[in-house]
Amino acid sequence: MFQTDSLISILRRFDKPGPRYTSYPTAPVFSTAYGPAEYEADIRSTNVDASAPLSLYLHIPFCDTLCYFCGCTTVITRNRDHISRYLETLKKEIAQTAALIDRRRPVVQMAWGGGTPSSLTPAEIRDLASFIRERFQFAPDAEFSVELDPRELTEEHMRAFVESGANRFSLGVQDFDDRVQAAVHRIQPEDLTTNVFTWSRALGVSSMNVDLIYGLPLQSVESFQRTLDRVVALSPDRVAVFNFAYVPWMKPHQKLIHQEDLPSPETKLELLMATITTLHAAGYEYIGMDHFAKPHDELARAQKAKALHRNFQGYSTRAGADLYGFGMSAISHIDGIYAQNVKTLDEYHAAVSAGRLPTVLGYRMTEDDRIRKYVIMRLMCDLELDTHAVEQRFGIRFDEYFADSLSQLSEFTAMGLVRVTSGKITVEADGRFVLRNIAMCFDAFLKKLSGPKPVFSRTV
């Protein structure tokens, strides 16, 4: 196990802006030179293997109220007509894209995120799920995950999701402390979260995840420890604990947070250490980045089997699938191509109504991108890299190709965070906590993206 004083020193040293690497290259590199015509042509050209698996993502952007910490693309409304109209447009987009894809290709994973999908009524949930299943073939063991806001949820919502095939749920909690909830405009009594666990177990849900955030206003080590203890008592299969990304220049509504109420950098480190210590003591394994899982969980088992993957939803166990994103701001990744949808409702409705795919940004990966993505993803998922395998896969001399990266990595090797031997790079135990920083050594775009205002959130 780690030494607390040593780890705090490490975290303090490497606390700087950096990508989360849900993709490589990252979204700031995407270009408006790539649009609907290019995306449609790429869908057709990559749709050649009837057995190639698919992953689907649906963005449901609606929330009743604005959480001040939120970094997602959301629409705050209680108007059911707005939601109904969006669902009709969403179904049109799904139908347009599905018509370009071989019906025989199996869907191995589907995720609904937001916003919150629980802003839909139970009838809307069933209708949308049925619409998708009529247009895609799902594998018998397909994972269907849903992000939930307990404040907008009823047992009927849960039943509708489960009966529609959902088998994995992620609950936004952030913090149980009343003062913190008031400071971020998210009032969520603890019993609402407890209810969801009660319903899920009665319905036989196979996996539950809780999302927390450290670094929120008015958080203290003592108050967050109480939240951690309550989460452990709920016994979710996974826990994701995110560092609050305070980026008011990108998300203006974050200016509603009183900056003087934010924890100091030293307190944030103590919050992270409390998280690591508590979850480790409760039997959770640290997967990497912000994710913890029980040893029996598919995420932990996939990491041991070197079958872990990262996509725009974070860590995933379904590698190798083409990802199709639907809804405003959704991102697709097919073969070596990224395509992102428009980010406002008006643009989204206009594009789909005109019969166009609502693509506004995109990127075609180069061979260098593919090599670097492979290296970054293997380090972040396997916590080690077989450099000989990289050489054989891409026909390069690793030490020559990545001479600059290995030079940057020497700082981590000197501190015992990374071990470099002949043919292998291994992330050591404490290195897991600065995984983003280690991956950054292999990123060719960071210097180009540097500027007066950071593009990425801080790594700690």
Can you tell me the mean pLDDT for 215-229?
97
* H helical segments located in 286-402: 298-304, 345-353, 367-382, 387-394, 398-401
Residue 306: pLDDT band with limits 50, 70, 90: confident
8 A C-beta contact, residue 282 and residue 232 = yes
How far, in Å, are 157, 207, 209, 234, 253 from residue 169 at the CA level?
12, 7, 6, 14, 27
Contact 56, 107 (CB under 8 A): yes
Map residue 163 onto helix, strand or coil.
helix
Q: Is residue 405 within 8 Å of residue 411, measured between CB atoms?
A: no
CB 241 within 8 A of CB 270: no
Whether 129 has a pLDDT exceeding 90, the answer reads yes
Residue ending a domain, choose from 301, 326, 351: 326
pLDDT over 60 at 1, yes or no? no
- Cis omega (within 30 of 0) on the bond before 189? no
What is the reported pLDDT for 452?
Answer: 67
* Mean pLDDT over each residue of the chain, to the nearest integer: 93
For residues 179 and 269, membership in a common domain is answered with: yes
Residues 3, 33: one domain? no
What would the mean pLDDT of 59-75 be, rounded to a whole number?
93
> Average pLDDT, stretch 85-114?
97
Q: Pick the last residue of a domain from 305, 326, 347.
A: 326
- Quote the number of domains for the chain: 2
Tell whether 193 is covered by a domain. Answer: yes
Report d(CA 261, CA 183) in Å as an integer.
9
Q: What is the pLDDT of residue 432?
A: 87
For 210, 212, 227, the CA distances from 230, given in Å and listed in that order, are 11, 12, 5
* pLDDT tops 70 at residue 2: no
- Is the pLDDT score of 283 beyond 70? yes
**In a shared domain, residues 298 and 372:** no
**What is the residue range of 174's domain?**
14-326
pLDDT at position 391 over 80: yes
Q: pLDDT (tens digit, 9 = 90+) per residue, 405-417? A: 999 999 999 999 9
Q: What is the CATH number of the domain that holds 184?
A: 3.20.20.70
Cα–Cα distance for residue pair 345/349, rounded to 1 Å:
6
DSSP states of 7-70 = HHHHHHHT-SB----SSSS-GGG-BTT--HHHHHHHHHHH---TT--EEEEEEE-EESS--TT-
The model's pLDDT over 232-253, given as tens digits with 9 standing for 90+, comes to 999 999 999 999 988 888 889 9
Q: What angle do CA 260, 264, 269 make, to 5 degrees?
A: 150
Contacts of 148 (CB under 8 A, 6+ apart): 116, 117, 118, 169, 170, 171, 172, 196
- Residue 457 has a pLDDT of 73
- Decide if pLDDT at 450 tops 80: no
Last-in-domain residue among 276, 299, 326? 326
Same domain (yes/no): 169, 293? yes
Question: 47 and 4 in one domain?
Answer: no
pLDDT confidence of residue 3? 56
